[in-house]
Structure 1
Amino acid sequence: MKKKIRIGGGAGFSGDRLEPAVVLAEKGDLDYLVLECLAERTIALAQKRKQADPSKGYDPLLERRIRSLLPHLVKNKVRLITNMGAANPLAAVDKVLEIAKELHLSVKVAAVTGDDVFGQIDPAQQAMETGRPLKEAGQLLSANAYIGIDAILPALESGADIIITGRVADPSLFLAPMVYAFGWETDDYDFLGKGTVIGHLMECAGQITGGYFMDPGKKDVPNPAQLGFPIAEVSADGSAVISKVNGTGGVINLMTSKEQLLYEVVNPHEYYTPDVIADFTSVRLKEIGKDMVHVSGGGGKAKPATFKVSVGYQAFWLGEGEISYAGTNALQKAKLAGQIIEERLKDRMDDLRVDLVGVNAIFRGAFDQQIEPAEVRLRVAGRAQKMEVASLVGEEVEALYTNGPAGGGGARKYVNEIVGIVSVLLARGLVVPQVTVKDI
């Protein structure tokens, strides 16, 4: 049994930067690298890609990430755990093996499946957010349970170098290697709570190293363009030191750590995960050096009897249009342009919103504009059930070139299908994780 392991947090969402993970794999002296790349809406969109092409449905950046990381992972014997499998972990495994073959590298890759529970949900069940039956939300697209370490541990025990999952709770990606390396029991909720605290601190990658924290002149972060991502050196007693690779940008201190600790935590006494109901109230943070914070404390109690399930549905089509006005009388021109669009579309859209970006787009007029702006960006957004109706928004905004106030420029138009997300609970017995291992 190891006394310490080093885990790197190489991504905090699907579109995160690629370079920090490579730096971690190359210079972080890691045992494990975790890439957390999945959000609620991300997996619903992945399910749509899989429906269109059964060989797809994994993270769009998987190929680029793996191609840049694989030589360093193999050379430095770093095991990778990631939820980049999204809606199709099995196809993701095949793609990784294909890349490994091209690079003449030998790897063992495991797919963790079973989170897709679309066939197990009841459309009559009430959504947690609305209290209304799922079937009333719209056409259902996906249903994925937040599974935990019980699904990942068999993959670690298989000796897989790379473990690719679908929907797994974010802290579980980090907790699983702790349980595996230290031999913690899966019903020792004190240890699982401590490990979940560490996983939660790491799951958003650059947020704990100064990303999102930075505020110029108030909370300055050195060299933010080269922001480094975090490393957790975890001890068998459930404590850890959070740091980053020397020479990378960013900062790790009490402020960045406390902000991340409280991120998305509604009740610090009871933070629900599939592994444990964690208690954050006894967590202790201490700066022990430059960009080094010691984490201890935390705990937990028995895991929930149900899994949370994220259900995606087809919500509506969103049409958008933008155009700029600049110079003398810019604000009044933008207002008039917005009024013209409202008059033309008010009876065609389910909902229509007109924003003057920089004037009222965020605060909706709660603050008076003290100075006449020299430039204003008009944005119009409309919601409709049909794509062709939503498209009218961008068309009408573009038509302002010759059918609106003088001087409009830089028009853009967009139409997107919007996926909505609601949640339900599902009995654990209805979720059966599986591990598939392949190598080359």
Structure 2
Amino acid sequence: MRSIRIGAGAGYSGDRIEPAVELAQHGGLDYLVFECLAERTIALAQQARMKDPAGGYDPLLTARMQAVLPICRAKNIRVITNMGAANPLGAAEATRHVARKLGLAGLKIAAVTGDDVLAAAKANDLALDNGETISGLGNRLVSANAYTGARAIADALAAGADVVITGRAADPALFLGCLVHEFGWAMDDWDRLGQGTVVGHLLECAGQITGGYFADPGVKDVPDLARLGFPIGEVREDGDLVVTKVVGSGGCVTPATVKEQLLYEIHDPAQYFQPDVVADFSQVRVAEVGPDRVHVSGGRGRPKSGLLKTSIGYVDSYVGEGQLSYAGPGAVARGRLALDIVRERLALTGVQTSELRCDLIGVNALHGEASSQGSEPYEVRIRVAARTESLAEAVRIGNEVETLYTNGPAGGGGAWKSAREVVAVASCLMPESATQMQLALLEV
């Protein structure tokens, strides 16, 4: 039975580039997929495009393409990515510019658009998962991007694209599009689409499945994490998958790493809603078939819902933050006093906050006072963060922490402060009909 090899070149926007190069050089790939978008990433990309209409795509797109395109062209590896973010057309033009500089004549680059549904969001006052409505956001609304499916990616590949660049395609759809194209799967073959979604879900986070997110020293040891290899999916025509990696690369592929990734970010394994299918992971079987080789089968599916998860980006507020360190005997007591001083100063000077956090990092920052048990640390770092309605108010938070240098407990050092606008994300369900997928094909 025919099979193809798909490599996962990135699991998030800022991921390492070297493992993708290793995959292209030594992975024997047919496809190299870069999954680089998250809910908040797309909203920030839309915001960046408002400031620069030519921008809004992944900031590492050029570096990644420069690193892998010559290898992929030489080895006939096709590249699929959602690095287009808020501007797939701009990303495609930037990729063409890189290809021209590299002398890759004849390279075809497809830009897939249609996920930007801001106009439809404004026209349909839908309820958000945070209790608000789209109309209630008013002029704070920044973006609306629907999670689109595999069909448009498969169409781009059928049109001869060597590189396919999308916006907010669903993460598994980047991989599923390859399978639909290669194997001619029908878009109503629900069990194949369900198993293909298993493939995409397992590979989408790259180094997580090869031990990156899995590692826990003394409990789950993973070798050579500094040279972590990213995964390869060997996928048969029937959807059966073997997860592996480049021989000699760091990390590991085991049934345990695969099972952890299978359940990652999954609410109900029997109903994983995707643009193309409602996938059912409940009957998936995992078996080790060799060193760093794990066989995965049993994914199923049911008809898609006809609704697309849509990320709504909006300006929520501003956040001001300040940090300072204390060390030596009594460090925790001095840190607590410093926080008390800042709280009182904010009240005395009338700083308006809607939310305020005062933490001792290393003592209570994650789990509150319930975590401050046992021996006292030798060093501690205070952090004060507050949500405000204006940037000017946010700036005052860090300023008050910084003044502890000369107006607070002894021995404070390493002050740091920031103030920034917060772009928040909420979700709603948009009818699939709100998206009008389009394909633009550029040639070098």
Q: TM-score, normalised by structure 2?
A: 0.97
Partner of 2:75: 76
Asked if 2 retains the 8 angstrom alpha-carbon contact of 1:125 and 1:424, the reply is no
CA-CA distance at 1:135 after TM superposition: 3.2
The 2-side partners of 1:309 and 1:231 are apart by 29
Asked if 1 retains the 8 angstrom alpha-carbon contact of 2:155 and 2:181, the reply is no
Alignment of 1:357 onto 2:357: no
Segment of structure 1 superposing worse, 97-106 or 45-54: 97-106
CA-CA distance at 1:130 after TM superposition: 2.4
SS at match of 1:200: helix
Partner of 2:342: 341
Partner of 2:393: 389
Task: Render the CA deviation track for 1:267-290: whole Å, top value 9, x for unaligned.
Answer: 111110000001101111110000
Identity of aligned residues (%): 54
The 2-side partners of 1:299 and 1:160 are apart by 29
Asked if 2 retains the 8 angstrom alpha-carbon contact of 1:109 and 1:164, the reply is yes
Change beyond 3 A, Cα 1:322–1:89: same
Partner of 1:32: 31
- Look up the equivalent residue of 1:264 and give its one-letter code: E
The 2-side partners of 1:351 and 1:124 are apart by 31
Change beyond 3 A, Cα 1:258–1:334: same
Change beyond 3 A, Cα 1:426–1:368: closer
Alignment of 1:196 onto 2:197: yes
Task: Render the CA deviation track for 1:384-433: whole Å, top value 9, x for unaligned.
Answer: 11111101111111111001111100000111211111111111222110
The 2-side partners of 1:179 and 1:100 are apart by 27
Asked if 2 retains the 8 angstrom alpha-carbon contact of 1:319 and 1:381, the reply is yes
Change beyond 3 A, Cα 1:141–1:398: same
SS at match of 1:382: strand
The 1-side partners of 2:397 and 2:381 are apart by 15
SS at match of 2:368: coil
SS at match of 2:417: strand
CA-CA distance at 1:154 after TM superposition: 1.4
Asked if 2 retains the 8 angstrom alpha-carbon contact of 1:313 and 1:421, the reply is yes
- 1:389-408 alignment to 2 at 5 Å? 389-408=393-412
- Look up the equivalent residue of 1:230 and give its one-letter code: P
Change beyond 3 A, Cα 1:368–1:84: closer
Partner of 1:230: 231
Partner of 2:321: 320
Task: Render the CA deviation track for 1:1-56: whole Å, top value 9, x for unaligned.
Answer: x8111000110110111111110011101000100000110010000110101110
CA-CA distance at 1:368 after TM superposition: 4.2
Alignment of 1:127 onto 2:131: no
The alignment covers a number of residue pairs equal to 439
Partner of 1:433: 437
- Look up the equivalent residue of 2:277 and give its one-letter code: V
Alignment of 1:300 onto 2:301: yes
Asked if 2 retains the 8 angstrom alpha-carbon contact of 1:325 and 1:333, the reply is yes
Partner of 2:113: 113
Alignment of 1:417 onto 2:418: no
Task: Render the CA deviation track for 1:68-107: whole Å, top value 9, x for unaligned.
Answer: 1111111111000000000000000111111111111121
- 1:18-57 alignment to 2 at 5 Å? 18-57=17-56
SS at match of 1:14: coil
Asked if 1 retains the 8 angstrom alpha-carbon contact of 2:36 and 2:82, the reply is yes
Segment of structure 1 superposing worse, 359-368 or 182-191: 359-368
Partner of 1:268: 269
Asked if 1 retains the 8 angstrom alpha-carbon contact of 2:154 and 2:177, the reply is yes
SS at match of 1:438: strand
Asked if 1 retains the 8 angstrom alpha-carbon contact of 2:358 and 2:383, the reply is yes
Asked if 1 retains the 8 angstrom alpha-carbon contact of 2:128 and 2:134, the reply is no
- Look up the equivalent residue of 2:242 and give its one-letter code: V
Partner of 1:167: 168
Asked if 2 retains the 8 angstrom alpha-carbon contact of 1:115 and 1:144, the reply is yes
CA-CA distance at 1:136 after TM superposition: 3.0
Asked if 2 retains the 8 angstrom alpha-carbon contact of 1:123 and 1:134, the reply is no
The 2-side partners of 1:368 and 1:7 are apart by 46
- Look up the equivalent residue of 1:95 and give its one-letter code: A
- 1:78-117 alignment to 2 at 5 Å? 78-106=77-105, 107-117=107-117
Asked if 2 retains the 8 angstrom alpha-carbon contact of 1:222 and 1:250, the reply is yes
Task: Render the CA deviation track for 1:115-157: whole Å, top value 9, x for unaligned.
Answer: 0000011477343422321233460000001000122121111
The 1-side partners of 2:224 and 2:182 are apart by 35
Partner of 2:257: 256
Asked if 2 retains the 8 angstrom alpha-carbon contact of 1:208 and 1:256, the reply is yes
Task: Render the CA deviation track for 1:168-202: whole Å, top value 9, x for unaligned.
Answer: 00000000111111111111101100111111110
The 2-side partners of 1:372 and 1:202 are apart by 42
5+ residue gaps in structure 2?
Answer: none
Asked if 1 retains the 8 angstrom alpha-carbon contact of 2:142 and 2:313, the reply is yes
Asked if 2 retains the 8 angstrom alpha-carbon contact of 1:286 and 1:294, the reply is yes
Q: RMSD of the TM alignment (CA)?
A: 1.2
The 1-side partners of 2:209 and 2:239 are apart by 19
Partner of 1:216: 217
Partner of 1:244: 245
SS at match of 2:119: coil
CA-CA distance at 1:371 after TM superposition: 1.6
The 2-side partners of 1:127 and 1:250 are apart by 43
The 2-side partners of 1:142 and 1:122 are apart by 10
Segment of structure 1 superposing worse, 166-175 or 346-355: 346-355
Asked if 2 retains the 8 angstrom alpha-carbon contact of 1:123 and 1:133, the reply is no
SS at match of 1:119: helix
- Look up the equivalent residue of 2:434 and give its one-letter code: L
